[in-house]
Structure 1
Amino acid sequence: MKHLILAGVLALGGCGSASELKPASNQHLPVAPYSARATPTATQLLTPNSQARPERSDELLKKSDTRRGDEFDLPPHN
């Protein structure tokens, strides 16, 4: 049982090694987008922009106002 746990820990330990991403030897990075000045690197392609990951808005409600009447909030018509 101890050998199985040790093997699992060693196998997972190898997953943590990180190196710079590079395309395969016979592949190239994608061509530059239409209006880009240069071809983006692998790191730039993997970094999400603000539209893909918007920042969180933590603005708290500072002032509570009562809602005014809605003239279009009518009961259903049969």
Structure 2
Amino acid sequence: MFTGESAFGNPCGVLELNNWRSDTELHQITHDVGLPVTSFITNVDGQFHIRWFALDGEINLCGHGSLGAGAAILSKYQLEK
């Protein structure tokens, strides 16, 4: 958790993949994670790509999923905030 114990809001899972998996696999992983949204990210030649899946399928954009993915990227890659 990147916000601390007292934060409220929608949780999301964040998974970094080496390459994209099928939509069916991403949807199954989302169900396994069991949170409202799971953000999947890849790093291709230094460019990050993101997809968001809710429990009922892929969604076009997700604010809290983007924030969670951004926090994970900043933390893992020690990037400037």
Higher helix share: 2
TM-score, with length taken from structure 1: 0.23
Greater RCO, 1 or 2 (C-alpha within 8 Å, sep 6+): 2
Structure number with larger C-alpha Rg: 1
Higher strand share: 2
TM-score, with length taken from structure 2: 0.22
